[in-house]
Each structure stands twice: as C-alpha cells, then as structure tokens.
Structure 1
Amino acid sequence: MSFHYETPLVDQSELAQARAVMGAGMARILGYFREDGARSIRAIEEAFTQGNAAAMVIPAHTLKGESLQFGARRLGGIAESIEQTARRCVEQRLAPSEVGGEVAMLRGCFNETLALLESAAPPSGTPRPPMPGLAGTRPVTFGTAPRTFGRRTG
C-alpha cells in the first residue's frame, strides 16, 4: 500500500476556506478543474506509456496546483510525486518507470476527490459569505484614471 493513502483525501479546513472564498463560483471552478484535471491525467498517462518524463512535468505540476487550491491533499501529493520524479528523470536521462504506482492511482483518486468536492460545493446562486476579518469594512475603490501597466502615463 502506498504512503499516499495515509494522506487525507481532502483537508476539510482548506476546503472550507476555498468554499468561503469561491462562494457560489465554486461549482463553476470545479467544472474547470474537472476538465483540466482529466486533460492532465490523460497527458500524464500517455507520457508514462511513452516513457517521456519531460511530457509528464507540466501536467503533473498543473494538477498539483489545481488540487491543492481545494485542499485535495492526496491528489496533490500524488501529482507532486510524479512531477518531482519526472523532473529528476529528465535531469538524469531516465525513463519515468518508478512512478508507475502513482500514475495507476491518479485517475481513481481524481474521481474520488472530484465527487467529494462536488458534494461540498455550495449550490449556484448561494451568496459568498464575508471573509473573516473583513466584516463591516468598505470595499476598496480605485480612481477613475485609465488603468496602465508599467510606467505612469500623462
């Protein structure tokens, strides 16, 4: 059994924080996560089958970051292991065969995680709760000057 199974599927406090920040938009963002995650997993599996460590790095990195924004610790950890091993394999010019176990766990963990996250998402139309520590404060407003990047103009 892999050490990844010792990691909780989702950190509930991080999920609660993500839910508070995203509010009703969480359902929409989970839709993006579903699409991007499936695309990343396909790319990782194909690269693994071809023995192409370099092609595993970016999709594993992407999946790791997207998973951790929801507190999906196990999926993020598996993706991080794949990413780190693939980077090392690229540097040492090795085939990524040692991440076969992680690649095999990836799809099932993704599906289980996604089901849990979707069940925890607030329904569409639910207002976003106030951010802790910001209750009663006025929103920040910006001047009417046109937005520019870099140096000030005019």
Structure 2
Amino acid sequence: MAFEGSTLVDWTVFGRARSELGAGFGRILGYFREDGVKSVAAIEAAVRAGNAVAMVIPAHTLKGEARQFGAEPLADLAETIEMFARDCVERQDTPELAVEHVVKLRPLFQETLALLEREANPLVERRVVGGFGRKAV
C-alpha cells in the first residue's frame, strides 16, 4: 500500500500521546504492536471463516489503539471493518464483502507501525530546524 508517512500518522496526536504517556510510551507502543498483530490475524481468520461476530472486538480494539497514536487511516479502516461486521451481525449475514477492506488492513498496519516505531526510537537522529533553541523534528 503506497501511503506517504505524513498521511499515515497525525504527528501532533502522536507527540501529545508521547508527552502524556512519558516513560510508559515505549511500553504502550509495544502493547499496540502486540495487540495489533493479534487483532489483524483475528480479523483475517474471522472473515475467512465467515464469522462477523469474531471481527467486531478485534476491529474495535485496533481502531481505539490506532487513534491513541494518531494513526487515523488505520483507525478509519478498522472502524469500517467493525461497522461492516456489526451490520452483518444485525442482519445475520456473513462478512464476505468485507474482504476488500480486510486485505488492506495488514499492509496498512505494518506500514503504520514501522513509522510509529521509527519515530519512537530514541536512537533516530532528529534534524534541528532553525538552529539553537529550536525544536528537533
């Protein structure tokens, strides 16, 4: 999936989460990684099994965690999948038509996670814009 890094993450939201979480930020990002891998796998397995009920919670979880880090495209896709699955549950239907969304989920999650982890890495060199006393970018 060809997304530009600047469109995958709202860096203002990311920075705010980083500030608010402080020393726990890395740990929470690690939870996002672990939960995200599990959620994506669960959603893929559920759509293959035709089980809309099993898609709802992992999609909901992924949506909320992605929003916490400013990963809006990922959160929006997870929300689309969640709402689709909820509609299928209400209609007592199978989620076959969700496949077009689900196939986009893993690449988007992986690309987004790579950006978040790269930015969170304390060893990444930051450019300083404007010289002395300016915030690093």
Identical counterparts, % of pairs: 55
Structure 1: 4+ residue segments shifted above 4 A = none
CA positional deviation for 1:71: 0.5
- List aligned pairs for 1:75-154, cutoff 5 A: 75-121=74-120, 123=122
Does the Cα contact within 8 Å between 1:27 and 1:121 map onto a contact in 2? Answer: yes
Q: What stretches of structure 1 of length at least 5 have no aligned partner?
A: 125-154
- List aligned pairs for 1:58-77, cutoff 5 A: 58-77=57-76
Query: What's the TM-score, normalizing by structure 2?
Result: 0.81
CA positional deviation for 1:122: 5.6
Relative contact order, higher structure (CA 8 A, sep 6+):
1
Letter in 2 for 1:102: H
Query: Which one has a larger percent helix, Structure 1 or Structure 2?
Result: 2
Question: Could you say what the CA RMSD is over the residues aligned between the two structures, in angstroms?
Answer: 2.2
Aligned to 1:44: 43
Deviations, residues 100-134 of structure 1 (Å, cap 9, x unaligned): 1211011111111111111121639xxxxxxxxxx
CA positional deviation for 1:41: 0.7
Number of aligned residue pairs: give it.
121
> Following the alignment from structure 2 to structure 1, what is the Cα–Cα distance between the partners of residues 107 and 24?
25
